[in-house]
Amino acid sequence: MSDNDLHRFFTAILPSGLTQSKMSHLKSSGRELELPRGVNTEFASETHRWVIFVADGAAKLVGHAGSDREQIVAFALKGDILLLPDGRTVQYYLSGLTDTKILAFPIDDLVRTIASDSDAIMVIFDRALAALDYCNEMSVLLGRKTAFERVASFLESMGQRIGNEQAGVTSIDLPMSRREIADSLGLTLETVSRQFTELREQGVIDTKGRSEVSILSPHRLRDLAKLKSGKAESFRKLTQINARSESSE
């Protein structure tokens, strides 16, 4: 396990740092996994729940309910920390959207190691609450929002997570395909393509190729996604650890 990747993970959850003995313990209990594009890593057969840190690249978390019934649950991007579901009723796996490197730690071992540091425990707790908020909002998005609002909400979240803002325009290089966006939103590929076209025609976004998206009017996009002024906060919470870990490089 790379000391640099390990340092980035620890900096993300513990800005004050860990003692050398605790770092060595977690290094020995954790795993470093290379996940090439399109390759799956399953955790369902394991006895532990896992905390996943995306050291490089991007992956998707997929729930598999059998008979080719699958659902993209989340996209995990560089610097993200993901609390993996236990898989007792649904089998989950991570699949590389790009060539990806992840660090995996048994959550019980991680919590015991950092239990004496209240700041670290609060980071894990806040992360869990932010993930719960995001899941609740996704339930509303999938159950009650229109296709147009779903796509606008997705682009809003990606702008918050991986967007590069300059002169009022937010640029995004999406690591996932349009089909994967459609799968994650419970839509067809054709429907997602139509919503992208509509957003372009309204002057809200511009696109280049299949992955580059420019959000020309972030406030308009938020309005179209039907997000209240503070409703995108869960998206921001989910990126705070990412931003902190990136700044440590």
Predicted confidence (pLDDT) at residue 111 exceeds the cutoff of 60:
yes
Mean pLDDT for 205-209 is 95
Whether pLDDT at 58 is above 60: yes
Q: Highest mean pLDDT: which of 127-131, 184-188, 238-242? A: 184-188
User: Comparing 59 with 9, which gets the higher pLDDT?
Assistant: 59
pLDDT in the model for residue 68: 72
Per-position DSSP letters for 178-214, written without gaps between them:
HHHHHHHHT--HHHHHHHHHHHHHTTSEEEETTTEEE
The tokens describing 103, both together, are 């660090």
Burial class from Cβ neighbours inside 10 Å (0-12, 13-18, 19+) for residue 44 reads: middle
Give the Cα separation of 232 and 51 in Å (integer). Answer: 24
What would the two tokens of residue 79 be?
A: 């610097």
d(CA 201, CA 24): 54
Q: Which amino acid, one-letter code, is at 87?
A: G
Which helix (DSSP H) or strand (DSSP E) does residue 132 occupy?
helix 118-144
pLDDT digits (tens, 9 = 90+) for 125-149: 776 676 666 666 666 666 668 899 9
Higher local confidence (pLDDT), 240 or 135: 135
Mean pLDDT of 150-175: 93
Q: For all residues of the chain together, what is the average pLDDT?
A: 80
Q: CA 70 → CA 7, 60, 152, 182, 191, distances in Å?
A: 34, 12, 23, 12, 19
And the tokens for 49? 């729940």
**Residue 36: pLDDT over 90:** yes
Q: Would the pLDDT of 40 be above 70?
A: yes
**Which H or E run includes 229?**
none
223-234 per-position pLDDT tens digit: 988 754 444 444
Within 10 Å of residue 57's Cβ, how many Cβ atoms? 20
Q: pTM here? A: 0.78
Is 110:125 a contact under the CB 8 Å cutoff? no
What pLDDT, on a 0 to 100 scale, did the predictor assign at position 206?
Answer: 97
When comparing pLDDT for 232 and 150, which is higher? Answer: 150
**Residue 202 is encoded by which pair of tokens?**
């309204």
Tokens of 179: 């089909």
pLDDT of amino acid 243: 47
Q: Which domains does the chain have, with CATH numbers?
A: 3-116 (2.60.120.10), 146-225 (1.10.10.10)
Query: pLDDT: is 1 or 104 the higher one?
Result: 104
Residue entry with tokens 């649904």: 90
Instruction: Report the Cα–Cα distance between both ends of the chain, in Å, rounded.
Output: 17
In percent, the amount of the chain with pLDDT more than 90 equals 34
Query: Under 8 Å CB-to-CB from 113, ≥6 apart: which residues?
Result: 18, 22, 25, 26
Where residue 64 falls among pLDDT bands split at 50, 70, 90? Answer: confident
pLDDT at 134: 65
pLDDT at 190 over 70: yes
Per-residue pLDDT tens digits for 168-180: 999 999 999 999 9
Reported as a single tens digit per residue, the pLDDT across 93-107 is 899 999 999 988 888
CA distance 156 to 75: 14
Average pLDDT over residues 182-198: 94
